[in-house]
Structure 1
């Protein structure tokens, strides 16, 4: 009689798994349109390995293969089989966590709704339901292992380490709760790392630029001053009729040309004076905030970014920094 019961159980299990294979094929066509041929072949092989292990009642191994099949080609059927295998192996929390993923990722899959809900409800009174919320895209890690879903169960009355990894860094907390409780954990993305300190070469580069600008400014001033005598001479003879042979300029025209040239040189010199003064101020500030000892600075470290601009209408310099 016992032999007949075992035989009937084996037949029922075989039929059930054969049905699952058909469902798997249908699910794969619906959910994995963009998966490569190689990944589909590997997933099919992993699913077959899981089926063989399940029939042999090696549920831990079966769960491993079904999860691998799901990672290669995500389908609701492979995930459901992993849930069932973990449940049979006694890994109730792992089974419930995969059931949560199954329920939330495939809400319209009628075939998986009932078994997933059944396992979730069975675990809920004895475990802690954690709902993690990240302020930006993040990767969650529970007790050192990556988790696939932001809603999951953990063992009650035990402290668990929960970490969220963001692009700008990581943040973590400890989670502990009573059986049947629900914990909502919110993670805010950490501030971006502080900018690097100003290197010494930045100060010396600014100092060099200041010296060069100063030299150019001095030259420009001397060049502008050299034209004063010629202009004054031309201005004194501007009212003289002069000799205008072969289209040469009159004294008045020559004086006007010298005046415009002098004004242009004066404007250029004034621009250079302003830019040089700004660059000198920038160099002085950089000298104060330069990391002379190559020491690292904390997040509130001081930082200055100079910017200098020149145009035909004038010059400008700006300082942007953190103090």
Structure 2
């Protein structure tokens, strides 16, 4: 297993060296953050701290998406026993990297092995929605369709759209079962005209809608998708809810990515 980590480190170095220093996909700060997260994940994996490794590899993937980071996040989640998250990421890898034979073979093998122990839900959203299962955001961006895997038992699934629209479903997962969900956004309700915002109010609005490099929870807030995500966390384990608090993260971490100190404080708090 360690050889997989070392070979993936070498592959990631090649990938990162080929990325432009400034681009819409990955600017220099994101490349540095991804490399730092990946290295932290490597160390955690070698120390058999697989929970931390999974968080770091997912953060690395969020900063600069690569199949290497995603495969190692899957391996790490599997080693913690969280096969549902590992399988959900494997389905994402299978779909995203269909032209990468190594990733396709790895994802298919994992999904075939895990299928009998998990419940697979195929979800379609119209339009694209943010998905939360059991208070955790499943993907970094709203999706039109997705495969989500659940461990046996009861689960709360919520879908959110802009304009504070949402739908809730309670799912009873069974090992080896499959199901489909088609989620249509509710109609937008008319709103009463709002008072002209003050100068302070305008600044607050800019905080919610400007900038990149934030975790998906904060990014969703910027899109107006807040009803479902008010109490959710990301799979990296970030505790933005209470320590240091969502507002602090939004204000301090604009354009800084997940290397932002306040973001890291929330991540550390979640691990304690």
TM bracket, shorter-chain basis? 0.5 to 0.7
How far did residue 81 of structure 1 move?
0.8
Cα deviation code 1:135-182 (max 9, x no counterpart): 1121111112111162110122x2211111112411111122432111
How far did residue 31 of structure 1 move?
7.4
How far did residue 21 of structure 1 move?
1.2
Listed as ranges, the gaps of 5+ residues in structure 1 are 1-11, 198-323
Q: Which one of the candidate residues 89, 111, 119 is aligned to 2:102?
A: 111
Q: Which one of the candidate residues 173, 185, 202 is aligned to 2:169?
A: 173
Does residue 71 of the first structure (1) align with residue 62 of the second (2)?
A: yes
Does residue 20 of the first structure (1) align with residue 8 of the second (2)?
A: yes
Against the structure 1 CA distance between its residues 109 and 30, is the aligned structure 2 distance closer, same or farther, given a 3 Å change threshold?
Answer: farther
Cα deviation code 1:232-275 (max 9, x no counterpart): xxxxxxxxxxxxxxxxxxxxxxxxxxxxxxxxxxxxxxxxxxxx
| SS of aligned partner of 1:137 | strand
Q: Is the 8 A contact 1:177 1:183 kept in 2?
A: no
Against the structure 1 CA distance between its residues 31 and 190, is the aligned structure 2 distance closer, same or farther, given a 3 Å change threshold?
Answer: farther
Report how many residues are paired. Answer: 184
Against the structure 1 CA distance between its residues 30 and 111, is the aligned structure 2 distance closer, same or farther, given a 3 Å change threshold?
Answer: farther
Aligned pairs for 1:138-287 (under 5 A) are 138-148=129-139, 150-156=146-152, 158-168=153-163, 169-196=165-192
CA distance in 1, matches of 2:39, 2:125: 37
| SS of aligned partner of 1:49 | helix
CA distance in 1, matches of 2:19, 2:101: 15
CA distance in 1, matches of 2:158, 2:56: 27
Q: Is the 8 A contact 1:28 1:75 kept in 2?
A: no
CA distance in 2, matches of 1:178, 1:51: 34
Q: Is the 8 A contact 1:27 1:76 kept in 2?
A: no
Q: Is the 8 A contact 2:5 2:72 kept in 1?
A: no
CA distance in 2, matches of 1:30, 1:188: 40
How far did residue 122 of structure 1 move?
1.7
Cα deviation code 1:278-313 (max 9, x no counterpart): xxxxxxxxxxxxxxxxxxxxxxxxxxxxxxxxxxxx
Aligned pairs for 1:18-167 (under 5 A) are 18-28=6-16, 34-148=25-139, 150-156=146-152, 158-167=153-162
- The structure having more radius of gyration, on CA atoms, is 1
CA distance in 2, matches of 1:178, 1:102: 24
Structure with the higher fraction of residues in helix conformation: 1
Q: TM-score, normalised by structure 2?
A: 0.62
CA distance in 2, matches of 1:177, 1:85: 23
Listed as ranges, the gaps of 5+ residues in structure 2 are 194-272
How far did residue 190 of structure 1 move?
0.4
Against the structure 1 CA distance between its residues 31 and 129, is the aligned structure 2 distance closer, same or farther, given a 3 Å change threshold?
Answer: farther
| SS of aligned partner of 1:180 | coil
Against the structure 1 CA distance between its residues 154 and 19, is the aligned structure 2 distance closer, same or farther, given a 3 Å change threshold?
Answer: same
CA distance in 2, matches of 1:53, 1:105: 26
Greater RCO, CA 8 A, separation 6+: 2
Q: TM-score, normalised by structure 1?
A: 0.53
How far did residue 115 of structure 1 move?
2.1
Cα deviation code 1:36-70 (max 9, x no counterpart): 11111111011111111111222111111111111
